[in-house]
Amino acid sequence: MNRFQQSFVWCLLICGLFVHESHSLEAAEWGSLSGKFVYTGKPVKQKQGPFPVDESLVIGPQGGIKNIFVFLKGRNLKQEQIHPDFQKLPNQVEIQHLGNRIQPHAVGLWQPHQKLVVLNKDPDLHLTHLHPLINRLPDSIQENIDRKKIIRFEHPELLPMQIKCDIHPWETGYLLVQSHPYFALTDETGTFQIKNLPVGEWEFRIWHEKVGYLAAREEWQKGRIKEQIKPGKNDLGVIKVSPEMLQTKTSSKQ
């Protein structure tokens, strides 16, 4: 092997090491946060009646609490702190009136990347009313069957806003509008996961419609969690929620 060939081989080896190292560093910059909220009270029985079931507190078969919002508190994230995979998200989030319910009951939206689409799949007329704290929106949105309305938000919101139908007051839902994609909702097992978080110490908020900010652990005052996100998985474990924790509504300004 002549000197030129030796130099070429060394160049390939060095480049390979550099690429491997850069990929390792890139992978080490992100982590996930997960946990599971479990209700410790008696099973919640849905009230029977002429109207659809109350979805303000949904407990799964194994005691998991559904529709708890977990979101990163932060408005000024830099572009490099948003994982590139989030650019693959659809540019709209859809809710619909179906079966005299707002479905899904709770949902999150990344502003300004996504807009809200409201669909009416019922034969009845609906007047959808959103209740933001910051954004200025029309009082109600009139929808006939198979019609849709598109809503764009100029600003992120501090906490989830209520969605109601002014004609059918039992139809309610909640929408979280954030300036970043780092939020999640618990499923019927009570489990949530926020993927591809930038490493470092971050503050998260826990919120549920029954109580507002949820202090499920003693150190989580007003639903605040400070967590050091490390590369890979970060698990909060099983978080037990008693009935008493869901009884006192917190202020929306906290």
Residue 139 sits in a domain whose CATH number is 2.60.40.420
pLDDT at 250: 66
Q: Give the pLDDT confidence of 163-191 residue by residue, as tens digits.
A: 999 999 999 999 999 999 999 999 999 99
Task: Tell how many helices (H) and how many strands (E) occur in the chain.
Answer: 1, 17
Q: And the tokens for 66? A: 């559904």
Q: Which residue has the higher pLDDT, 20 or 246?
A: 246
Burial status of residue 31 (CB atoms within 10 A of its CB: 0-12, 13-18, 19 or more): buried
- pLDDT band at 49; cut points 50, 70, 90: low
pLDDT at 209: 97
Neighbours of 144 (CB within 10 A): 11
Nearest C-alpha neighbor of 197 from the set 67, 75, 34: 34
Backbone phi and psi for residue 61, each to the nearest 5 degrees, phi listed first? -55, -30
Q: Let me know: does 20 contact 47? Beta carbons within 8 Å.
A: no
pLDDT at 148: 86
- Name the one residue in this structure whose structure tokens are 């540019």: 91
pLDDT at 254: 53
- At residue 1, does pLDDT exceed 90? no
- pLDDT band at 48; cut points 50, 70, 90: low
Q: Does residue 12 belong to any structural domain of this protein?
A: no
Q: Let me know: does 27 contact 188? Beta carbons within 8 Å.
A: no
State the Cα–Cα distance between residues 209 and 28, nearest whole angstrom: 35
Q: Does residue 124 belong to any structural domain of this protein?
A: yes
- pLDDT band at 52; cut points 50, 70, 90: confident
Q: Does residue 18 belong to any structural domain of this protein?
A: no
pLDDT at 28: 47
Q: Which residue range forms the structural domain that includes residue 102?
A: 31-246
Q: And the tokens for 165? A: 């139908």
Q: Give the pLDDT confidence of 105-155 residue by residue, as tens digits.
A: 999 999 989 999 999 998 888 899 999 999 999 878 877 777 889 999 999
- Name the one residue in this structure whose structure tokens are 């509008």: 177
Q: Which of 48-52, 200-204, 233-237, 238-242 has the lowest mean pLDDT?
A: 48-52
- pLDDT band at 44; cut points 50, 70, 90: confident
Q: Let me know: does 163 contact 180? Beta carbons within 8 Å.
A: no
**pTM for this prediction:** 0.86
Q: 3-state DSSP call for residue 80?
A: helix
State the Cα–Cα distance between residues 89 and 221, nearest whole angstrom: 32
Count of domains observed in the chain = 1
Q: Does residue 140 belong to any structural domain of this protein?
A: yes
State the Cα–Cα distance between residues 249 and 254, nearest whole angstrom: 11
Dihedral sign, CA of 122, 125, 185, 183?
positive
CA angle 7, 13, 14 (to 5 degrees): 90
Q: Give the pLDDT confidence of 218-234 residue by residue, as tens digits.
A: 999 999 999 999 999 99
Q: Does residue 156 belong to any structural domain of this protein?
A: yes
Q: Which residue has the higher pLDDT, 11 or 249?
A: 249
pLDDT at 253: 53
Q: Does residue 1 belong to any structural domain of this protein?
A: no
Q: 3-state DSSP call for residue 27?
A: helix
Q: Let me know: does 176 contact 71? Beta carbons within 8 Å.
A: yes
Backbone phi and psi for residue 4, each to the nearest 5 degrees, phi listed first? -65, -45
Q: Give the pLDDT confidence of 53-97 residue by residue, as tens digits.
A: 889 999 999 999 999 999 999 878 999 999 999 999 999 999 999
Which residues, 6+ apart, have CB-to-CB distance to 168 below 8 Å? 100, 124, 126
